[in-house]
Amino acid sequence: MVDMYGTPHSPALHVVERYRLVDYDEAKDALERNARENSYIPVTGATGVVEIDPNYRGKMLQLHFTVEDAGVFTRPWTATITYRPNIGPWTEVICAENLQWYSGKDSAVPEADKPDF
């Protein structure tokens, strides 16, 4: 699977990710749409529940990605995720080592010897 939702993939999978810092004005529409359309799931970090400052107006990290997999999908699809800072420090999370998100905790963890770029 590609993600925690069980999105299928084949050996033809190709994902392109683009990260950039954006100003609040550029992220505002996405943040408002997210608040309307998605539920907020509190995340618990090492110091307790991670709070988000709703009044933060500084830089935010934006991830735009495109998924291509002719073995599964009829056309490429894209999505954008905008991250704003938590109240307090951001903690490092290494997803491949966070087995709670994988279906079947005994499944192999993805590994890469080197980046593909």
* The two three-digit tokens of residue 11, written as one number: 């050996």
More confident residue, 69 or 36: 69
Instruction: Please indicate, yes or no, if residue 3 is contained in any of the structural domains.
Output: no
pLDDT surpasses 60 at 100: no
pLDDT (0 to 100) of residue 16:
93
* The two three-digit tokens of residue 107, written as one number: 């499944």
* The two three-digit tokens of residue 115, written as one number: 């980046």
- Domain of 30, in residue numbers: 14-101
* The two three-digit tokens of residue 84, written as one number: 């704003």
Starting at the earlier edge strand, list the strands of the sheet with 77-83. 14-22, 60-68, 77-83
Instruction: Please indicate, yes or no, if residue 61 is contained in any of the structural domains.
Output: yes
More confident residue, 81 or 5: 81
pLDDT (0 to 100) of residue 25:
93
Count of structural domains, the chain: 1
End-to-end CA distance of the chain: 22
Q: What does pTM read for this prediction?
A: 0.62
Instruction: Please indicate, yes or no, if residue 86 is contained in any of the structural domains.
Output: yes
